[in-house]
Amino acid sequence: MPEGDTIYRAARTLHAALAGRVVTRFETVFSQLARFDHEAPVAGRTIERVISEGKHLIIDFSGDLHLRTHMRMNGSWHIYKPGERWRMRHSDMRLVIGTDAWVAVAFNVPVAEFHDADSLARQDDLVHIGPDFLAEEFDFDEAMRRIRARPDEEIADVLLNQRVVAGVGNEYKNEVLFVARVHPFARVADLTDEQLTRILRTARKLMLANVAKRSSARITTFSLDPSQQQYVYARSGKPCRRCGTPIRYAKQGENARGTYWCEKCQA
Ligand SMILES: [Zn+2]
């Protein structure tokens, strides 16, 4: 089975051979790719870059077209001179990308998809998803590393980013930060390791507790009174359960997610 490093080397070889060259020939046995090629031909596009991402090999073409292939067990990419005899059977061929100087052939690749930058980024998120709070063993060190890698971002946004940590939705984001007593608009760079650790431990604790209990309603206060189930979430203007200060509300981040907090408890 090809490991990440094998695919990395394949991508490097393909990049050296193909980058900057114009596609003169494209063939595939995948009907979806063939249909796309019929509508918006790959031939005539320039190959901009070939990279590996984990087990995936991605070929970027001009015109915001990206071909993503997964090697799985038996997939491989070969590079040949035009007219050179292939070292594998024709029946194993899945994709051919020809240029004037080189021909790249994918054999037995089970997964191949075309993407634009947006859909590729969404796929990318799946590949790079951060440590999962609900995993049997939560990787605190990796979560810390990923959070610290975003010093200029606001902590509430960082918690929602599934590439950093997986599993926190908007409600937990607000409740976790209240319980950890951290201001949602604080920049990661301005938070101590102790504060970040408290946030991570709180998130794990609240989320595990809610998975463990039977009812589907989320409870972060651990109160059994249904009207007392959240500290701040969806409580704009209502008194803080700790100090009585009215809960504040603002939209936050690129996606304008609702943020609720107590200015006094989360100073
Ligand atoms: Zn308060």
What is the residue type of 60? D
Question: Helices H, strands E: what count in the chain?
Answer: 7, 10
| Three-class secondary structure of residue 234 per DSSP | coil
Q: Which residues lie at CB < 5 A from ion ligand 1?
A: 240, 242-243, 245, 262, 264-265
- Rounded to an integer, what distance in angstroms lies between the CA atom of residue 183 and that of residue 239? 17
Residues sharing a CB contact under 8 Å with residue 100, sequence separation 6 or more, in sequence order: 21, 22, 24, 82
For residue 84, the tally of other CB atoms under 10 A from its CB is: 11
Tell me 221's DSSP state: S
Written as six digits, the tokens of 13 are 């070889």
Asked if 133 and 199 count as a contact pair (C-beta separation under 8 A), the reply is no
- pLDDT tens across 26-43, in order? 999 999 999 999 999 999
> In whole angstroms, what is the distance from residue 213 CA to residue 84 CA?
64
Residue 27 tokens, joined: 């063939």
Other beta carbons within 10 Å of 66: 20
41 vs 6, higher pLDDT: 41
| pLDDT class of 2 with cuts at 50, 70, 90 | very low
Give residue 246 CA to ligand 1 midpoint distance, Å. Answer: 8
Q: Residue 1: what pLDDT?
A: 39
The better pLDDT of the pair 122, 195 is held by 195
Mean pLDDT calculated for residue range 122-141: 79
Catalytic residues: 2-3, 55
CA–CA separation, 166 vs 24, rounded Å? 42
Query: Which amino acid makes up residue 107?
Result: F
Tokens of 105: 């052939």
The string of pLDDT tens digits covering residues 190-242 is 999 999 999 999 999 988 887 666 555 566 666 655 556 789 999 999 999 99
Q: Would you state the pLDDT for residue 22?
A: 98
CA pseudo-torsion sign 30, 36, 39, 43:
negative
Q: How far is the CA of 181 from the centre of ligand 1 (A)?
A: 9
